[in-house]
Amino acid sequence: MSVAVVMGSDSDLVVMQAAVDTLDRFGVHRIVRCISAHRDPHGMLRFAAEAESQGIEVIIAGAGGAAHLPGMIASATVLPVIGVPVGRPVLSGMDSLLSIVQMPAGIPVATMAVDGAANAGLLAVRILALSDPELREALRLHAADLIDQVEIKNSTITRATEVLR
Ligand code: RP5
């Protein structure tokens, strides 16, 4: 059971690291690669075609600008592909978002928010958890942690807005 985290350039790692960290937190085996749809299209197609036989079950693909990587990988595999639009200073990630989200019917890519790599990791864990009760339990604990964090935030706000009499 393995997740591939791929990205168009090493400059995307600063965003995509959150997906890697999330997978590590859940103890999910992952590989991380730079795969470029534009600069090395043949390499990209090779990766997509071989992913299943390498034991990969979910692919997280991040790219910025004219972000064709997630959609092109999805067109060359039947594995689930999660796309992360990487925000860049020019156009603030809107270009990446629209490039990834507007897939034609037949080739699905689960598109995250701009720079939403942490959620990409969590969605991959949820997919794997469908056939892994231990992962499902870990997700439940994670959800409980989020509730605790809201409680902490609530106390912080209450303290900060307390009227001193
Ligand atoms: C995209 O072009 C990559 O995903 C990256 O976000 C962007 C710029 O790449 P570099 O010029 O930093 O290599 O393909």
Q: Rounded CA gap, 12 and 46, in Å?
A: 21
pLDDT, tens digit, 9 for 90 and up, residues 69-104: 999 999 999 999 999 999 999 999 999 999 999 999
The pLDDT, as a whole number, for residue 1 is 79
End-to-end CA, the chain: 59
Measured in Å, residue 11 CA sits from the centre of ligand 1 at 6
Q: What is the pTM of this model?
A: 0.95
Q: Phi and psi dihedrals of 7, rounded to 5?
A: -150, 155
Measured in Å, residue 135 CA sits from the centre of ligand 1 at 33
- Regions of the chain short of the pLDDT cut 50: none
- How would you list the strands of the sheet with 56-64, edge to edge? 30-34, 2-7, 56-64, 81-86, 110-111
Q: Is 86 in the pocket of ligand 1 (CB under 6 A)?
A: yes
Query: What residues contact 87, with CB distance under 8 A and at least 6 apart?
Result: 15, 64, 93, 96, 114, 115
The pLDDT, as a whole number, for residue 163 is 80
